[in-house]
């Protein structure tokens, strides 16, 4: 299984063969409460690291999703359009949002490992 990296804004990315799968952490999904809408980018959109990639609405708030890495969107999780609750049920697996073709894998150094992220959550 590919290793996961996390941002301080609670996004994750799993990297495999130049492609990064992106979603939000279980912690973030829990904090947001029931998610009611996920606004996904168009395929072909390019983003820089930590730029806005998507948006998510819950019963509590609307939030931006920031891209953990720079890249170009190659696939989006269409299932979320009709069933955003998948993000609540499985934020770090079936609730993935976007695949990007990664521009620069060295940007991973700006992200946290699973262990570092767990420690980070304890400080919040």
Partner 1 sequence: MQLIYEQSVAGRRGVRLPVSDVPAATALPDNLLRREPAALAEVSELDLVRHFTNLSRRNYSLDTNFYPLGSCTMKYNAKALENAAGLFSSFHPMTALLPGGAEFCQGSLGLLYDLGQMLADITGMDEVTTQPLAGAHGEMTGILLIAAYHAAKGNKAKKKYVVVPDSSHGTNPASAAIAGYEVITVPTAPYGDMDIELFKKAMNDEVAAVMMTCPNTLGLFNPHIQEISDIAHGHDALMYYDGANLNAIMGKVKPGDVGFDVIHVNLHKTFGTPHGGGGPGAGPVGVKKALIPFLPQPRIVMDDDGQFLLEDHNPGSIGRTANFFGNFGVMAKAYAYIIMLGREGLIRVSEQAVLNANYIKERLKAYYDLPYDTTCMHECVFSAGKQLEHGVHAIDIAKFLIDKGYHPPTVYFPLIVKEAIMIEPTETESKATLDAFIEVMIEAALAAQTNPQQLLDAPLTTPVGRLDETKAAREQNVCCIG
Binding site for partner 1 (CB under 8 A): 34, 36-37, 57, 59-62, 84-85
CA 112 and chain centroid, separation: 13
Walk across the sheet containing 52-58 and list its strands.
Answer: 35-39, 52-58, 62-66
In the complex with partner 1, the residue whose CB is nearer, 32 or 102, is 32
Nearer to partner 1, 32 or 111 (CB): 32
Q: What is the Cα–Cα distance from 70 to 87, expressed in whole angstroms?
A: 23
Rounded distance, CA 86 to CA 45, Å? 24
| Nearer residue to partner 1 within complex by CB, 36 or 114 | 36
Q: Shortest Cβ distance from residue 59 to partner 1 (Å)? A: 5
Find the shortest distance in angstroms from Cβ 98 to partner 1: 21
Residues linked to residue 4 through DSSP beta bridges, in sequence order: 14
Shortest distance in whole angstroms from residue 64 CB to partner 1: 10
């Amino acid at each position: 299984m590919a290793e996961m990296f996390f941002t301080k804004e609670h996004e994750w990315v799993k990297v495999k063969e130049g492609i990064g799968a992106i979603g939000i952490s279980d912690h973030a999904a829990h904090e947001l409460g029931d998610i009611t809408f996920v606004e996904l980018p168009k395929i072909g959109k390019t983003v820089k690291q930590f730029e806005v990639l998507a948006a998510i609405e819950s019963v509590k708030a609307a939030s931006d999703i920031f891209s953990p890495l720079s890249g170009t969107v190659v696939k989006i999780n269409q299932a979320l359009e009709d069933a955003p609750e998948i993000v609540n049920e499985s934020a770090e697996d079936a609730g993935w949002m976007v695949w990007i073709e990664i521009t620069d894998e060295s940007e991973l150094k700006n992200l946290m490992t699973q262990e570092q992220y767990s420690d980070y959550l304890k400080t919040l």
